[in-house]
Structure formats: C-alpha cells, structure tokens
Amino acid sequence: MSATLTLKPGKDQSLRRLHPWVFSGAIARMQGEVVEGEVVSVLAANGELLGVGHYAPGSIAVRMLDFGTEAQLPDAAFWEQKLRNAYQLRQRLGLTGTGNTNVYRLVHAEGDGLPGLIIDVYGDTAVVQAHSAGMYKARPLIAAALQAVLGENLRAIYDKSAETVPAKAAPDAQNGYLLGESTGQEHVVEENGHRFAVDWETGQKTGFFIDQRDNRALLARYAPGRRVLNTFCYTGGFSVYALQAGAELVHSVDSSKKAIELTNRNAELTGLQDKHEAYAQDVFSFLKDRHNQYDLIVLDPPAFAKHLSARHNALMGYKRLNVAGIKQIAPGGLLFTFSCSQVVSMELFEGAIMAAAIEAGRPARILHRLTQPADHPVSLFHPEGEYLKGLVLAVD
C-alpha cells in the first residue's frame, strides 16, 4: 500500500483535467511514509482516488503516472505498455530506422505520460535521463521495458541520469551502461540522410539536439548559395545541413572547444569541410565585427532561463543577442532565432525579438514560427511542455 496525499477542497480540478503536476500548496495532509521518489496515491478531499504518481519535496510535489479511480501502482506491464505506446507513435512518424533517420526521441516526459523521463535512441543504443528521483529508482523496470519493446534493435542502454537527477535524491549517481557496454568506437548516426558523430557518454544532454531536426531541414531549403553563420553550434547540426544544401560558406561558433571539435568532425563527414570554418569563441564577441558578412544567421543559444525568477533577465538576454544578429546580417538576410527556455512563451519571445529589431533599426518580417518536432510531443493537458520556439525573419 503506497502512502497517500489528500488534496485541499477544490484543488482536484487540475487532476480531473489530466494535468500531471500536483503542487505542494494543494496538499492538505499526507498519510503513511512519504519518501522522495516513491509512488504515492493522490486523493480528493472527499477520499476519491485521483491517481498515482512519483513524490518529490518541492514546489511540484507529485508527477502523475496514472489517473482515475482505477489507477494502480506501476508494475513491469505498466512500463512496457507506456514505452510501447511511445514507440508505436514514432513508428507512425517514420523515425524508427525505416528511412534515412535512426536518431529520435522515444520518450518525451509529460508528452508521453512519463513526467521526469527522457529516452533518446541513437541507432541501436537508447540513452536514458531521469529528471526525478522516482524515474531514477525505476531504471531497472525501464531498462527491462526497453528490451521488451525494442527487442533485437537494441544493443545497449546508457544511463546519463547523473547530470539530471536531483543530487539530494541520488548523491552517488553515476553515468553508465544498464545494458551492453561501450564499443570504444566513434558513434555515427543518420538524420534525414545527414551523418553525425554523437558522443552520448560525455556530450551535452544525451549527445545531440534532436529537437531541431525539422528546423534544420527548413534551413536547408534556404541555405543554397548563402553565407551561413551558425552560432552556439554545439555539434554543428545546422552547419551540416547548410553545407550539404549548397551554402557558399558556413562558419560555426561556440565557446566550447569540445563542441568545435565535434562540429569540425561532422563537417568532415560531409566531405565539404573546405567550405567550413569553426571558431571556439564567445558569440557576442564574434558578432561585433561581422557587418554584412553573412546572409543567413542561426541564433540558437542554451536556455537563458530555467525558472520563472530568471525570465526577465532571459528576455533581456534574447533581446541583446538578437540586436547583435540583426545589426550584422546582410540586407535581405534570413535570421533563424530560437529560445529553448520553457518559462519564456512564444508571445514573450516574439516581443523580445521585436524590441531587438527596433533597437537595431532594421525592418524585419516573420516568415515562419517554429517549434519542436513530433517526437517531442506536447500533452494537450500540459501545455508547459512546449518549450522550443523559434522565428525565421527576413531582415531588410
């Protein structure tokens, strides 16, 4: 029998609308031994079972796994069914290795009904990241479910949760293989026919920013014959697409020397590295003296705000960055600009970009509004899951 949390009167409505979070302020009382990472039952004030979820101290006290009066504690069958549902969606999207793409997101947290869990697939390896103590404790069941669902398509499971699980919940967490082992060889995956070397063991996130796949494909439509600058390039995703689409030249910038090494390696895989140069340099410094040198610029910075308290400063940061980009781009150029800060809405982001264009003194028109791809789904009941937003601007 799990511990139970009873909500205050009237605080059950969000769960009845299937929103997956229970905030600490909604809880009237706790019964039983409530331990971080354990599954708890959530009751309405009248004692009705609303569902079950993982408990964690803090603002978001419970992340729901199942809803309704028939909700049960998750067992092996629960995890397998959840992962099978997620996999079947990716099959329908044509992302499970049947075409020219073998890298995709298999589980996108709340978007797949599994708050706190990310699973990315790179060929025959699944990379798992637990963002909550509950998901961290469930890793053995998750690994078993992955083997059941992916079968012979799965060679290895790499757990990269040490970087994301709350330190107090798992102070001794270490990254490592839950299945298989390192091959000691370079890992090369394919996305829309483009080859990328991916380092999921020591790279950022799970090794590659899968969420920009569709936006990279869009950039390829506009890259032919253009001089392209890809800032905050990480592994050079946009750079590779631009090179293979026929860009006149491509320059990549990132403050991380390791990122630049990965970008250069991926440029080599295109066979077009003679058209590419990479710079391990601060983006703001790089942009200072580049007037009219580029007619397509990508501004894809890391999240400027991870909490509401940082949102104002983030908006100022987006404005400052885009002022620099808009000032430097050649007349008639295209600006691909992004925010991956969940707490910054598209409306606020667009406002910051408008303010940047005004300060830069350049007319600009919106050609596209961009978001994350279909393997990063947003639950209709959890709109907060729509974190990636972007604009393509034509700058006169």
Plot region of 236 (φ>0 → left; ψ -120 to 50 → alpha; else → beta): left
**Alpha-carbon gap, residue 110 to 118, rounded angstroms:** 10
For the CA atoms of 315, 316, 318, 323, the dihedral, rounded to the nearest 10 degrees, stands at 140
Give all strands (DSSP E) within the chain, no chain letters: 4-7, 21-23, 27-31, 39-43, 49-55, 60-67, 103-108, 117-122, 125-130, 156-159, 176-179, 188-191, 194-197, 227-231, 249-254, 276-280, 296-299, 333-339, 364-371, 389-395
What is the C-alpha radius of gyration for the chain, rounded to an integer number of angstroms?
Answer: 22
User: What are the structure tokens assigned to 85, written together?
Assistant: 């549902």
The residue written with tokens 């796949």 in the block is 213
Distances in Å between the alpha carbon of 326 and those of 267, 297, 355, 377, 385? 26, 9, 11, 31, 29
Distances in Å between the alpha carbon of 302 and those of 205, 244, 262, 340? 11, 25, 17, 7
* Active-site pick, 250, 340, 343, 348: 340
- 340 flagged as catalytic: yes
**Alpha-carbon gap, residue 353 to 394, rounded angstroms:** 13
Write b or e for each residue in 231-258: b if 16 or more Cβ atoms lie within 10 A of its Cβ, otherwise e: bbbbbbbbbbbbbbbebebbbbbbeeee
Q: What is the DSSP string of 72-103?
A: ----HHHHHHHHHHHHHHHHHTT-SSSSS--E
- Which residues are annotated as catalytic? 340
